[in-house]
Structure 1
Amino acid sequence: MQTEKVVEHIVNWLKDYATKAGANGFVIGISGGIDSAVTSTLCAKTGLKILCIEMPIHQAQSHVSRAQEHISQLKERFSNVKSTKTDLTPVFEEFKTEVSLDGEQAAVDMALANTRARLRMTTLYYHAGVLGLLVAGTGNKVEDFGVGFYTKYGDGGVDLSPIADLMKSEVYQIGEHLKVPESIIKATPSDGLFGDARSDEDQIGASYPELEWAMNMKEEGKTENAFEGRQKEVFRIFTNYNRSNTHKMVAIPVCEIPNNLK
C-alpha cells in the first residue's frame, strides 16, 4: 500500500465531500481504539473544524486513558481540533429503568450493548446538528463489509466512512504513518460495549488477520471445502457472520407496490 498517497487521497476526499455538503467539518466519537484514532487524525488533516467526543458508558479505564491520550496529542498537533466529553452512563442507567429486562440473559446483554452504541450515535448527531458538522464513521472494511461487526443505527449510523475500504492491517499501517500513540497501536481491539475486558476476537472467535484472510478467500470464490483445520474453522466463522449480518450491509428493503394496486 502506498500509505502516504492513500492518506492524501482520503484527506482530499473528506475535504471535497464536506465542501459539497456545505458542512463546517466533522465530529468523531473517540474510543481509544485504532479506527477512531486514525479517522480523527485524517479528519484533522483537512484543516476543517473537528470535534472529538468521549462518550463513556461504564468504560474500562484503559479505554478512557487511551482516548484522552489521543485527543491531547491531536489537539497539540492540530489547531482545528476541539474536544468534549459526554458521560452517558447516567442516561444508560436511566434507560434500563424504563424498559423490561426480562428474557434470555444473553439477548438482554446484547440489546443493552447495542443500546450503548445507539446512545453514542444520538450524541454525535446532536453535536453535528448544532455545529453544522458531519458524523465521520470509524468502521474498517472487515467490520463494515466482512463480518458486519457493528451496531445497526449505532456506530453504523454515520454520514460518511473514510476508512471503510481499508483492511484492519492497512488501518494500522496508516496509524503508524500518522503517529497515532503507541498505546493505541499496541492495544487489543475491543468494542467496549459490554463494560468488561472481552476483545473483538473473544466475541467473533477469530482475529482480524484471520478474518482478512477469510474475506480475501471468499472474494476469490473459495468455499469451506477448500480448507482444513483452523483455516476451515475461520472461513466458517467469517461466512456465518457475513451471512447473518447481511441486513446491516445492504440498503433498507422497500416493499414496492405494483402499479395495478395503486
Structure 2
Amino acid sequence: MQTQKVIDHIIEWLKDYAKKANAKGYIVGVSGGVDSGVVSTLCAMTGLKTVVIEMPIRQQKDQISRALEQIDFLRENFTNVEGFTVDLNAPFEALHDIFDVKDDEFPNEKLAFANTRSRLRMLTLYYYGQINGLLVCGTGNKVEDFGIGFYTKYGDGGVDVSPIADLYKTEVYELAKALNLPESIKNAIPTDGLWDVDRTDEQQIGATYPELEKIQKEYGTKTADDYEGRDKEVFMIFDRMHKAAKHKMVPIPVCDINKEWRN
C-alpha cells in the first residue's frame, strides 16, 4: 500500500467534506485502539478543529490509559485538538438499574447492555459535536463495517463520515506506523471494550483480522466448497456473521405505498 498517498487522500477528503457540510471540524471517540488512534490523528492533521473524547463505562485500566495517551499525543502535536474525558459510568449504571432485566429471563441481556454502552457513546459524541459545530467521525474499518458487521447499530455505527471504512485492519496498522502513533496504540490488541470481562475481537469472533480479510476479498466469488481446513472454518464464520449483520449495511427498508391508494 502507498501509505503516504492514502494518508494525504483521507486528510483532503475530510477537509473537503467538512467544508461542503459547513462544519468546523470533527469529533472522535478514542478508545485506546488503533482504529480510533489513526482516525483521530488524521482528523487532527486536517488543521480543522478536532475534539477527541474518552468515554469510560466499566472500562479496563489499560484501555483507559491508552486512550489518555492518545489524547496527550494529539495535544502535544496539534494545536487544533481539544481532548477530555466524559465519564459515562453513572448514566450507564442508572439505565442498568432502571431496565432491571434478569439474565435467566432474557439470554441476550448482556449483549443488549454491551450495545447500550456503544449507544451512550454515540449520544455523547453527537451532543458535543452539535454544540461545537463538528461532524462525528467514525472509526470502523472495512472488515467491521462491510464484512462481518462487527459494530453496534446506532452506536459506533452512528456517524457522519467513515474515513477508514475502505481500509482493512492490516492496512490501518500500516497507517498507524506511518503516523508514528504511540507504541501502545500501534500494538494494541483489537477489542471493542463493551464487556465487563475483557474479551479481544479474536476471542469474540473466532478468527483474526488477517484471516477474515482473506475471506472478504474472495467473498462472493467463492463458496465454502472452495476451502478446506482453517480457511473453511473462517469462511463459515465470515458468512454467518455477514448474513446476520446485513441489516446494518443496507438502507433502512421503506414500505412503499401504492400511488393509487393516495387518491
**TM-score of Structure 1 vs Structure 2, range by shorter chain:** over 0.9
Corresponding position of 2:147: 146
Give SS of 1:28's match.
strand
Corresponding position of 1:199: 200
Corresponding position of 1:179: 180
Aligned equivalents of 2:100, 2:65: Cα separation in 1: 33
Give SS of 1:97's match.
helix
1:85 deviates by 0.9
Give SS of 1:192's match.
coil
- Contact 2:26 2:137 survives alignment (8 Å): yes
Give SS of 1:83's match.
strand
1:3-22 counterparts in 2 under 5 A? 3-22=3-22
- Contact 2:66 2:185 survives alignment (8 Å): yes
1:98 deviates by 1.1
Which sections of structure 1, spanning at least 5 residues, go unmatched?
none
Q: Which amino acid aligns with 2:94?
A: E
Corresponding position of 2:164: 163
1:102 deviates by 2.8
Q: Which amino acid aligns with 2:256?
A: E
CA RMSD for the aligned pairs? Answer: 0.9
1:196 deviates by 1.8
Aligned equivalents of 1:108, 1:47: Cα separation in 2: 42
Aligned equivalents of 1:36, 1:109: Cα separation in 2: 24
Q: Which amino acid aligns with 1:77?
A: N
- Contact 2:144 2:151 survives alignment (8 Å): yes
For structure 1, which segment, 250-259 or 92-101, has the greater mean C-alpha deviation from structure 2 after superposition?
92-101
Corresponding position of 2:217: 216
Give SS of 1:59's match.
coil
Give SS of 2:173's match.
helix
**TM-score normalised according to structure 2 size:** 0.97
1:43-192 counterparts in 2 under 5 A? 43-104=43-104, 106-192=107-193
Task: Give identity over the alignment, percent.
Answer: 55
Give SS of 1:164's match.
coil
Give SS of 2:82's match.
strand
Aligned equivalents of 2:103, 2:209: Cα separation in 1: 32
1:256 deviates by 0.6
1:103 deviates by 4.7
Give SS of 2:14's match.
helix
Corresponding position of 2:236: 236
1:100 deviates by 3.4
1:195 deviates by 2.3
Aligned: 1:35 with 2:35: yes
1:12 deviates by 0.2
Aligned: 1:255 with 2:255: yes
**TM-score normalised according to structure 1 size:** 0.98
Give SS of 1:35's match.
helix
1:115 deviates by 0.1
Aligned equivalents of 1:13, 1:111: Cα separation in 2: 35
- Contact 2:103 2:110 survives alignment (8 Å): no
